[in-house]
Amino acid sequence: GAGVSQSPSNKVTEKGKDVELRCDPISGHTALYWYRQSLGQGLEFLIYFQGNSAPDKSGLPSDRFSAERTGGSVSTLTIQRTQQEDSAVYLCASSSGQGVNIQYFGAGTRLSVL
Amino acid sequence: AQSVTQPDIHITVSEGASLELRCNYSYGATPYLFWYVQSPGQGLQLLLKYFSGDTLVQGIKGFEAEFKRSQSSFNLRKPSVHWSDAAEYFCAVGAPAAGNKLTFGGGTRVLVKP
């Protein structure tokens, strides 16, 4: 079956613009995670969804970042008024349920803010 | 809060030689431990995991790791490295009490000499 799919694979934007990053999890996976991978900070957790609710948003770096998940499936990470420090690879992962299950990762979206 | 340290940023190894990557974690309860590998431009692929039981775990691609509670370590090993093992390797700890998120080490980049 298909793995975790992220789009776009690359996004170049100008400082101050809004961007939306999309994640399609593995079918049937109820848990979905967003992480950010940057040179200075390594791999950081951003937000976690169980179904459509987000019990842990503790990693979102500022109120410019938001995410939603609809229908227990697709998730969108939105960054408003992008800044150069937002440049990073944004990774999405999904897992099958409660507890610490294996997280399966997508290939990521590389965001470049000019 | 949990944390993960990978002391070696880069390791260079000759093809056919053995490889050991170090990982130390900090977590108050029994940890759930993972090793992931990332090839250039790719997402993270799970190599192996430790949840409980036998402290020596086998993974894909001939990798194994040993959980040592007394040393708070989960080192990754491979007896004979292939050129295709050149990649970046990440150790991670996860726990339900932490919202199921993974906390990653900084990664170790492995270069393989012919």
Share of chain A above pLDDT 70, in %: 96
Residue A68: is its pLDDT beyond 60?
yes
Residue A80: is its pLDDT beyond 90?
yes
Name chain A contacts of B109, Cβ cutoff 8 Å. Answer: none
Residue A1: is its pLDDT beyond 60?
no
User: If DSSP codes are grouped into helix, strand and coil, which group holds residue B62?
Assistant: helix
Asked if B104 and A63 touch (Cβ cutoff 8 Å), the reply is no
User: If DSSP codes are grouped into helix, strand and coil, which group holds residue A60?
Assistant: coil
Q: How far is B81 from chain A (nearest CA, A)?
A: 24
- Region A68-93: what's the mean pLDDT? 96
Query: Using CB atoms, which residue from A55, A58, A105 is nearest to B43?
Result: A105
Distance from C-alpha of B23 to C-alpha of A66, rounded to nearest angstrom = 32
Residue of A nearest to B107 (CA): A42
Name chain B contacts of A42, Cβ cutoff 8 Å. Answer: 104-107
Name chain B contacts of A33, Cβ cutoff 8 Å. Answer: 100-102
Asked if A33 and A96 touch (Cβ cutoff 8 Å), the reply is no
Beta pairing, strands B87-94 & B32-38: antiparallel
Cis peptide bond prior to B79, omega within 30° of 0: no
So what's the pLDDT on residue A83?
Answer: 97
B36 in reach of chain A (CB within 8 A): yes
So what's the pLDDT on residue A98?
Answer: 65
Q: What is the pLDDT of residues A20-41, one digit of tens each?
A: 999 999 999 999 999 999 987 8
Average pLDDT, chain A: 93
Each of the 114 residues of chain B gets a pLDDT tens digit; together they read: 789 999 999 999 999 999 999 999 998 777 899 999 999 888 899 999 998 888 999 999 999 999 999 999 999 999 999 999 999 999 999 877 766 789 999 999 999 999
Distance from C-alpha of A72 to C-alpha of A51, rounded to nearest angstrom = 5
